């Protein structure tokens, strides 16, 4: 990624409202003296960064799609009692998978961190394994000693193991657990609420991934990390509980700014009385929502995993030492909101050559179930798609788009919020909803093939030669 200091400086001087309304903000505007400077990162950061690469990254989590059973097989050896960990089963999922609580530390400040309540959002869970290794294997590290003495950390990794088994957002019943904080209809949500009531955290961390296509504000830059201090009411008032959360979010930004300047955003503060972060704030825990978006080329989110780890350590350290007190709320407020979501791949200017239909000039838009790896693609739109912005585009002028015979099938899920599930008609081979399986060919019969998209983009040939 390229650094984008200009816009960063510009954004830090603007109020969030200004950013939202000013959609034609020039990137070349000069920063005014009222810009809130981001303080230097913590002095320990370079050392911990280096330590991470050699001694903290836990092996066995190189693929971001893993089952809970696999993750626990990797994490459990790190959780030895003599290293201060206590692990207990606290419930069972709908499909009877164990839900576990890990506890570490002897301090008086209680912190609750829960991950992967959406089953396909695994970045934080990978980073938690690294954090366990840090806490367990580096007892003499000053950061660990400070945490051990001043905090008690409560972890609930993989709140949604049934969803993780399918690498899907929702639980086995199709329920979004992060909309079940009020009803507590699911065993997973009830288990999280019971743990919250038991440990009465002063701080909470609600750990997620968000869609890769999100842009930071009005910019063209993808959001790598998004932060939110969830509101506890519709007015999004700020009380003492939220003040602490906003400070901690500012600490996370400060630590990650050297890596991700311009790629850090925040979520909007619309109150949702069904969402956990909103209610844990209401219940008195200073809660920070962390969302991992994407870094182009970081296909398995391994780079983002490390940054997530560093951000969490910075947040926890500021809690253990109390150093977040007095951090400027502008560090959080000045972040651009998550803006547009850019679709994944556009083929511009090709000619559809579907058997039985006349050849037709059309752009073709493809979204992937895994946008960074470009796998499991489906047609999202077709026709004159104008100047629509996308994460990647391919010039298909002069080429025919020919469906791969006999393989076009119906796609059921493109994005978690796709509500077209009642439409059971099988789409034609290149219409929205169809699996993205076609070739780019110099002839309409698909004999002189220059590029193939077989649901997945071939990493060895991501684009047609010469494009």
* Chain residues that interact with Zn ion, rule: CB under 5 A: 118, 121, 208
Residue among 155 and 438 whose Cβ is closer to Zn ion: 155
As measured in angstroms, the least distance from the Cβ of 53 to Zn ion is 28
User: How many Cβ atoms are within 10 Å of 59's Cβ, its own excluded?
Assistant: 7
As measured in angstroms, the least distance from the Cβ of 226 to Zn ion is 11
As measured in angstroms, the least distance from the Cβ of 110 to Zn ion is 23
Residue among 208 and 263 whose Cβ is closer to Zn ion: 208
As measured in angstroms, the least distance from the Cβ of 185 to Zn ion is 18
Residue among 12 and 123 whose Cβ is closer to Zn ion: 123
Residue among 224 and 352 whose Cβ is closer to Zn ion: 224
Residue closest to Zn ion (Cβ): 208
As measured in angstroms, the least distance from the Cβ of 13 to Zn ion is 31
Residue among 260 and 292 whose Cβ is closer to Zn ion: 292
As measured in angstroms, the least distance from the Cβ of 293 to Zn ion is 11
As measured in angstroms, the least distance from the Cβ of 208 to Zn ion is 3
Residue among 158 and 365 whose Cβ is closer to Zn ion: 158
Residue among 196 and 267 whose Cβ is closer to Zn ion: 267
Residue among 133 and 301 whose Cβ is closer to Zn ion: 301
């Amino acid at each position: 990624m390229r650094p984008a200091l200009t816009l960063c400086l510009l954004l830090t001087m603007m109020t969030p409202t200004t950013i939202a309304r000013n959609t034609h903000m020039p990137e070349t505007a000069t920063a005014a003296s009222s810009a809130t400077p981001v303080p230097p990162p913590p002095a320990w950061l370079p050392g911990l960064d280096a330590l991470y690469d050699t001694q903290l990254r836990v092996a066995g989590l190189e693929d971001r799609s893993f089952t809970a059973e696999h993750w626990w097989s990797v994490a459990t050896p790190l959780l030895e009692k003599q290293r201060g960990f206590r692990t207990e089963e606290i419930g069972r999922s709908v499909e009877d998978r164990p839900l576990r609580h890990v506890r570490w530390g002897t301090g008086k400040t209680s912190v609750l961190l829960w991950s992967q309540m959406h089953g396909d959002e695994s970045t934080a869970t990978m980073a938690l394994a690294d954090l366990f290794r840090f806490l367990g294997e580096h007892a003499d590290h000053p950061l660990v000693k400070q945490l051990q003495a001043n905090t008690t950390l409560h972890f609930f990794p993989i709140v949604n193991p049934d969803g993780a088994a399918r690498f899907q957002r929702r639980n086995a019943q199709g329920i979004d657990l992060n909309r079940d904080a009020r009803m507590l209809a699911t065993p997973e949500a009830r288990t999280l609420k019971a743990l919250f009531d038991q440990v009465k955290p002063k701080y909470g961390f609600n750990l997620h991934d968000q869609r890769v296509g999100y842009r930071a504000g009005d910019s063209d830059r993808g959001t790598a990390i998004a932060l939110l201090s969830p509101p506890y009411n519709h007015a999004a008032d700020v009380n003492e509980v939220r003040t602490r959360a906003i400070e901690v979010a500012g600490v996370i930004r400060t630590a990650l700014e050297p890596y991700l300047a311009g790629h850090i955003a925040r979520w909007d503060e619309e109150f949702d009385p069904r969402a956990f972060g909103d209610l844990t704030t209401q219940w008195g825990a200073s809660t920070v929502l962390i969302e991992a978006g994407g870094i182009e080329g970081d296909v398995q989110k391994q780079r983002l995993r490390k940054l997530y780890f560093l951000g969490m350590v910075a947040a926890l350290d500021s809690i253990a030492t109390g150093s977040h007190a007095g951090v400027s709320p502008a560090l959080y407020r000045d972040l651009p909101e998550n803006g547009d979501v850019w679709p994944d791949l556009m083929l511009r200017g090709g000619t559809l050559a579907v058997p039985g239909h006349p050849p037709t000039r059309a752009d073709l838009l493809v979204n992937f179930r895994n946008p960074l790896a470009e796998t499991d693609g489906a047609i999202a739109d077709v026709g004159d798609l104008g100047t629509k912005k996308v994460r990647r585009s391919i010039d298909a002028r002069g080429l025919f788009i020919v469906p791969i015979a006999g393989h076009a099938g119906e796609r059921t899920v493109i994005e978690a919020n796709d509500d077209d599930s009642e439409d059971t008609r099988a789409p034609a081979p290149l219409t929205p909803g169809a699996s993205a399986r076609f070739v780019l060919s110099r002839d309409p019969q698909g004999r002189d093939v220059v590029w193939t998209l077989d649901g997945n983009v071939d990493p060895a040939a991501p684009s047609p030669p010469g494009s």
